[in-house]
């Protein structure tokens, strides 16, 4: 079966750095997405990785290792507004998005 694993909840301090991991087992791979979702709102796009390596975009970076079925989202200089759920999703061989359950990130002052 297809499976996406990510931690249920993480806590970090304002101004710090946090890494949210995601491992996946899917039928085929056409890329991995990270989305941010605030409570009661729809997901917003953060990043898309299809090749191995690190993609940096401002305070957020995303890493992918296809051989390990592994990705992480790195958030730097955390702000209170970064408190949200972070969803990892993989595009499988049928170009269907397989979603993880999301990681709820709690930022403390």
Partner 1 sequence: GAVVSQHPSWVICKSGTSVKIECRSLDFQATTMFWYRQFPKQSLMLMATSNEGSKATYEQGVEKDKFLINHASLTLSTLTVTSAHPEDSSFYICSAGTGNIEQFFGPGTRLTVL
Interface contacts to partner 1, rule CB under 8 A:
30-31, 33, 40-45, 48, 50, 87, 91, 95-97, 99-102
- Nearer of residues 69 and 102 to partner 1, judged by Cβ: 102
- Nearer of residues 12 and 89 to partner 1, judged by Cβ: 89
Report the candidate in 102, 63, 69, 76 with the shortest Cα–Cα distance to residue 17.
76
- Nearer of residues 7 and 31 to partner 1, judged by Cβ: 31
CA distances from 11 to 5, 8, 15, 16, 69 (A): 18, 11, 12, 11, 24
Residue 34: CB minimum distance to partner 1, A: 12
Question: Cα–Cα distance between 52 and 45 in angstroms, integer?
Answer: 19
């Amino acid at each position: 079966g297809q499976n996406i694993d990510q931690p249920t909840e993480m806590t970090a301090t304002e101004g710090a750095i946090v890494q949210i991991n995601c491992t996946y087992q899917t039928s085929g791979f056409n890329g991995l997405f990270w989305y941010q979702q605030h409570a009661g709102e729809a997901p917003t796009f953060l990043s898309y990785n299809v090749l191995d390596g690190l993609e940096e975009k401002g305070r957020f970076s995303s890493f992918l290792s296809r051989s390990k079925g592994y990705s992480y989202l790195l958030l730097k200089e955390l702000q209170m507004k970064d408190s949200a759920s972070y969803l990892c999703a993989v595009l499988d061989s049928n170009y269907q998005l397989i979603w993880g359950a999301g990681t709820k990130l709690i930022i403390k002052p």
